Amino acid sequence: MARSMWRGAIQFGLVTIPVKLYLATEQSGIGFNLLHASCLNRIQMKVYCPHHDEVIPRSETVRGYEWSKGKYVVVTEEDIDSVPLKTMRSIEIELFVKAARENAPTQFVKQAYYLEPEQIGAKAFYLLKSVLAEQNKSAICKIVLKDREQLAALNPFSKTMLLTTLHWPDEIRAMDELNLPEDEIDIKASEKKMAEQLVASMTGEFDADEYADGYRQALMNVIEKKVAGEKPEPQERAAPTNITDLMAALEASVSAARSDRTAVKDEKPKRATRKAKPATAKAAKAAADKSEEPRQRRRKTA
Amino acid sequence: MPGEQLGLPIEPGGAPDRLPARILPMQPAEGIGPFDDPAYLFEPWWPGVRATAWVEGHELVRLQAAGLADALGSFVELADELPERLMDDGTVLDGWLLALDDGGWLDTELLRRRLSGDRSAGRPAFVASDLLWSGGTSWQRRSFAARRRRLETVLLDGDRCVVSHALRGDGTLLAEALARFGIEGISARRLDARHRGGPAGEAWLRLPIHPAEVVERPRLALIQRLPLTA
């Protein structure tokens, strides 16, 4: 059973929808431990106080905010609990916006969470979901997670809704230092048409199942071999070949095709000679128009 | 023939200023399928990017890929090999830029990466199919047969630069042989046609072929002519 990491309620207007939050993603990378190279034991990270010149337990640490250079104020759990925010136990919807890609601020995302409605709020939950979906809108909201008020977007997703936390505007870097000469670029109509054709031809349904982390799997194979006591072998690479090899392969293929034809011809000496096909669409049409005429040569050559 | 190659007039220093600023490329007409005709030379429509290679002063000075900015920066290996294999100067060759994987097979993804500036992607190759200038003189008004003979004489096959394999008259045979390579078309050029910029009509046809098996990487042709850089 999945464990919710937050409980609260979606709030907008006079409507309250109790929900639970679940992490929608997880890190699937391979984790390593740091070992002492000589004994292969795990090393430990000690918390060290340079003022007392001693290692201290984590229980003796507190959180401090540096309000001036070298000056700190201690912030306790009680201080955090006493923060007077409406969003402490609620997902406070501020407004609804078009769920469009060009809505730039909603593209700087941090983390996705699934929402699960409490039984009592299920109807209102799905009512909100259906309206967002039908009107292609996102709800921009605020929520307090991990001691911080977060900006978030709420969107219909499969059988639930997805809450995606966003970066605040002051966390998004300016693009001033990048060289982005969009206004200076002259794109010809033919180039644009070509690009549009490319995009159209490669447009399809995105299926995430078709993609896999190949590096992770390859690394796991190496680890499993080492665990089994085998020495991982370097990946075999074919001996380098060049373009002349490809030409030779093509030549061999032509020879093979020619031999096949000769064999067939020997078996069926009365087989009709292969006729030339109309080369172009125009020629094909002309050939069709003259379909009742004798076809000695179907393709007109220049 | 080796004798012909040795007998070529090679002027020291070449003709560095005589190549034109631009040559309008021929545009092939779309055909509907392979055919046999002795008036035509058939070769694979290599799944790469069409390009002209400009050699002046025994240096590859430009690699003009169709619709792209100069691709020379992405195919630097050709700058070393092509002038070395070319027994001529003041030359413009027409052909295909390709990328090969470690097994020596054509790889469209590697080509795409190459064109995006990734010099480590695969091994580049240039397959020449026509010669437009030679010895600082335009050959565009000469027949394709003459240009092709000249090309086969002046360009010696190397690891990365070759003259495309071609068959005279046997279009259907070539199409049959190409099926196993996953190549989707053949080029058919009239041997008596001059090089004429713009639509080529029946002087040059691109004929689609349909491999027996469905091949992967079918989108290679689509990466042609996309702007490489601004």
Q: Specify the fold of A6-25+84-167.
A: Ku70; Chain: A; Domain 2 (2.40.290)
**Six-digit token string for A101:** 């890609």
Residue B35 and residue B55 share a domain: no
* Residue A283: burial class (beta carbons within 10 Å; 0-12, 13-18, 19+): buried
Residue B107 and residue B158 share a domain: yes
| Helix %, strand %, coil % of chain A (to 5) | 35, 25, 40
In a domain, B12, yes or no: no
- Phi-psi region for residue B58, left (φ > 0), alpha (ψ -120 to 50) or beta? left
CA distance to partner chain A, nearest, from residue B195 (Å): 14
Residue B118 and residue B70 share a domain: yes
Hey, what amino acid is at A261?
R
Higher pLDDT, A233 or B219: A233
Q: Which of B31, B160, B188 sits opposite A243 (nearest CB)?
A: B160
Angle at B106 between CA B185 and CA B198, to 5 degrees: 45
Residue B124 and residue B33 share a domain: no
Q: Which of B32, B37, B174 sits opposite A284 (nearest CB)?
A: B32
Burial A198-223 (b: 16+ CB within 10 A, else e): beeeeeeeeeeeeeeeeeeeeeeeee
In a domain, B1, yes or no: no
Determine the Cα–Cα distance for residues A104 and A208; give it in Å rounded to an integer. Answer: 24
Residue B150 and residue B80 share a domain: yes
Q: Which of A190, A198, A257 sits opposite B173 (nearest CB)?
A: A257
3-state secondary structure of B157: coil
For chain B, list residues with pLDDT below 70.
1-17, 67-68, 180, 182, 211-230
In a domain, B173, yes or no: yes
Domain count, chain B: 2
Pairwise CB contact (< 8 Å): B127 & A243: yes
* Residue B41: burial class (beta carbons within 10 Å; 0-12, 13-18, 19+): buried
Higher pLDDT, B227 or A231: A231
Angle at A16 between CA A13 and CA A19, to 5 degrees: 135
A87-101, A171-185, B91-105: range with lowest mean pLDDT: A87-101
Choose the mutation target among A179, A250, A251 for the interface with B, i.e. most B CBs under 10 Å.
A250
Hey, what amino acid is at A299?
R
Contact list in B for residue A261 (CB cut-off 8 A) is 173, 176
Residue B210 and residue B117 share a domain: no
Higher pLDDT, B163 or A82: B163
A82-91, A102-111, A260-269: range with lowest mean pLDDT: A260-269
pLDDT at A199 over 70: yes
Measured CB to CB, residues of chain A less than 8 Å from chain B are 181, 184-185, 187, 190-191, 194-195, 197-198, 201-202, 237-238, 240-247, 249-251, 253-254, 256-258, 260-261, 274, 276-281, 283-284, 299-302
Residue B209, domain CATH: 3.30.1490.70
Pairwise CB contact (< 8 Å): A276 & B178: no
pLDDT, one tens digit per residue, over A36-67 is 999 989 998 889 999 999 999 988 999 888 88
Angle at A70 between CA A66 and CA A76, to 5 degrees: 35
Residue B52 and residue B111 share a domain: yes
* Residue A97: burial class (beta carbons within 10 Å; 0-12, 13-18, 19+): middle
Instruction: Flag whether the pTM goes above 0.80.
Output: no
Backbone angles phi, psi at A214, to 5 degrees: -65, -35
In a domain, B218, yes or no: yes
3-state secondary structure of B1: coil
In a domain, B3, yes or no: no
Contact list in B for residue A300 (CB cut-off 8 A) is 202
Domain with B201 in it: 27-46+165-222
Averaged pLDDT score across all residues of chain A: 76
Contact list in B for residue A250 (CB cut-off 8 A) is 44, 165, 177-178, 181
Angle at B62 between CA B61 and CA B65, to 5 degrees: 165
Contact list in A for residue B110 (CB cut-off 8 A) is none
Contact list in B for residue A191 (CB cut-off 8 A) is 67, 225-227
**Six-digit token string for A183:** 């206004």
Of chain B, the end-to-end C-alpha distance in Å amounts to 43
Pairwise CB contact (< 8 Å): A254 & B32: no
Type and span of the H or E element at A191: helix A189-201
Contact list in B for residue A249 (CB cut-off 8 A) is 181
pLDDT at A180 over 90: no
CA distance to partner chain A, nearest, from residue B29 (Å): 8
In a domain, B204, yes or no: yes
Residue matched to tokens 């680890």: A223
Pairwise CB contact (< 8 Å): B222 & A244: no
Contact B36, B209 (CB under 8 A): no
Name the H helices within B86-207: 108-115, 144-154, 171-178
Determine the Cα–Cα distance for residues A147 and B200; give it in Å rounded to an integer. Answer: 70
Q: Compare all CA atoms of chain A with the CA of B127 and give the residue at the minimum distance.
A: A243
pLDDT at A282 over 70: no
Determine the Cα–Cα distance for residues A277 and B210; give it in Å rounded to an integer. Answer: 15
Pairwise CB contact (< 8 Å): A243 & B29: no
In a domain, B71, yes or no: yes
pLDDT confidence band for A232 (50 / 70 / 90): low
Q: Compare all CA atoms of chain A with the CA of B156 and give the residue at the minimum distance.
A: A244
pLDDT at A237 over 60: no
CA distance to partner chain B, nearest, from residue A280 (Å): 4
Type and span of the H or E element at A7: strand A6-12
CA atoms within 13 A on the CB side of A233: 3
Pairwise CB contact (< 8 Å): A256 & B34: no
Alpha-carbon dihedral sign for residues B162, B164, B165, B169: negative
Q: Compare all CA atoms of chain B with the CA of A185 and give the residue at the minimum distance.
A: B230
3-state secondary structure of B33: coil
Other beta carbons within 10 angstroms of residue A103's beta carbon come to 13
pLDDT for A104 equals 65
The answer, yes or no, to whether ipTM is higher than 0.85 is: no
Secondary structure letter of residue A121 according to DSSP: G
Residue B66, domain CATH: 3.30.470.30
Contact list in A for residue B32 (CB cut-off 8 A) is 277-281, 283-284
Determine the Cα–Cα distance for residues B138 and B120; give it in Å rounded to an integer. Answer: 35
Q: Which residues contact B67 (CB under 8 A, 6 or more apart)?
A: A190, A191, A194, B224, B225, B226, B227
Choose the mutation target among A199, A277, A285, A295 for the interface with B, i.e. most B CBs under 10 Å.
A277
Residue B140 and residue B95 share a domain: yes
Contact B135, B15 (CB under 8 A): yes
pLDDT for B203 equals 92
Determine the Cα–Cα distance for residues B32 and B207; give it in Å rounded to an integer. Answer: 6
Choose the mutation target among A280, A282, A285 for the interface with B, i.e. most B CBs under 10 Å.
A280
In a domain, B11, yes or no: no
Higher pLDDT, B230 or A98: A98
Pairwise CB contact (< 8 Å): A253 & B178: yes
3-state secondary structure of A48: strand
